[in-house]
Amino acid sequence: YHNNLFCLAGIRLAPKEKVEVPVLFMPAEMKIYKAVVVIHVMRENGENWPYKVTAGSNTDLKRNVTVAENGETQGIVWIYPINGTPEAPQQKSVVIRCQARQRVEQRVELLLIGVIMPGATAPPDAGNSAEVHTDEPSNTTEVTDGSSATLEFLYELQYQSDEIRSQLESLVGMQLVEKEWDTESRIVTLIFNVVFAPSKPMRNEATVVIQCTAGGLWKFPLVFIATEPEVDDVINIEAVGLNKESIVGFKLTSQTG
């Protein structure tokens, strides 16, 4: 799978019969791999199709046929470009725990192992060169190293369903605060500040998906746990006598209005 041209040959198909084309991807490094699958069909008896491709023929048709010397159609070609993105094994879950109606900020370090570094001989100064471009789409941020050979990352917080998104999206915030480089081990550490402010007890999951433009995909599961809130108050009801009602008034407020 290294920029090679693959061809299928010797497969006999009856009319309207289907054939599966297996593609095996075994990446050795966290980088983009590209290949092209080419399928070329010709008649089994070697004869040409009588249709002739002319200057006025459809552009797509001219691109997808092989033409014999007499101008007749000798074969039909389908070309399928394939891009391979290596994905790192999923990491252990990071747990963010907070009591309901409280707010917690937690520092989360995510290690990107096997990053293909740019041509720099020394790691950039993360404190000065890391940039976060907030004009990217919501929850997606581009991170660059500021050097001439720019290495870029995109990160996004993804949810398992729209229902979980609706429950978590307004309660969770995530911001990149620091980036560390180690060119010898080829490890990039992205350090995030994660904010969780739950309004009620819950347990939900999300996934931080990080992609490098040079190739590579990393996924880090996050578990958000909101525990029971503290007791608001203790209500004491004083009895006025046996079999007589005692009434105490108290106010209830709603965060949702």
Cα gap 92→97, rounded to integer Å: 16
The pLDDT of residue 55:
67
Pairs from 157-163 (Cβ < 8 Å, separation ≥ 24): 157/206, 157/207, 157/208, 157/209, 157/222, 158/206, 158/207, 158/208, 158/209, 159/206, 159/207, 160/205, 160/206, 160/207
Q: Residue 132: its pLDDT value, please? A: 33
**Token reading at 23:** 């593609």
Report the distance separating Cα 97 and Cα 213, nearest Å.
32
Note the pLDDT of residue 228: 93
> What per-residue confidence (pLDDT) applies to 20?
86
Q: How far is Cα 19 from Cα 14, in angstroms, rounded to an integer?
A: 10
* Residue numbers in the chain where pLDDT is lower than 50: 1-5, 120-141, 145-148
Residue 154 host element (H or E)? strand 153-159
Q: Which residue ranges form the domains of the chain, and what is each CATH number?
A: 1-85 (no CATH), 94-117+151-227 (2.60.40.2310)
Give the containing element (helix H, strand E) for 163: helix 162-168
Q: What is the largest CA-CA distance in the chain?
A: 113
Spatial distance between the Cα atoms of 187 and 112, rounded to a whole number of angstroms:
6
The pair of structure tokens assigned to 147 is 């050097």
- Contact (Cβ atoms closer than 8 angstroms) between residue 110 and residue 189: yes
Give the span between the Cα atoms of 136 and 66, in whole angstroms. Answer: 45
Report the C-alpha gap between 107 and 202 in whole angstroms: 21
pLDDT at 71: 76
- HEC string of 68-107 equals CCCCEEEEEEEEEEEEECCECCCCCCEEEEEECCCCEEEE
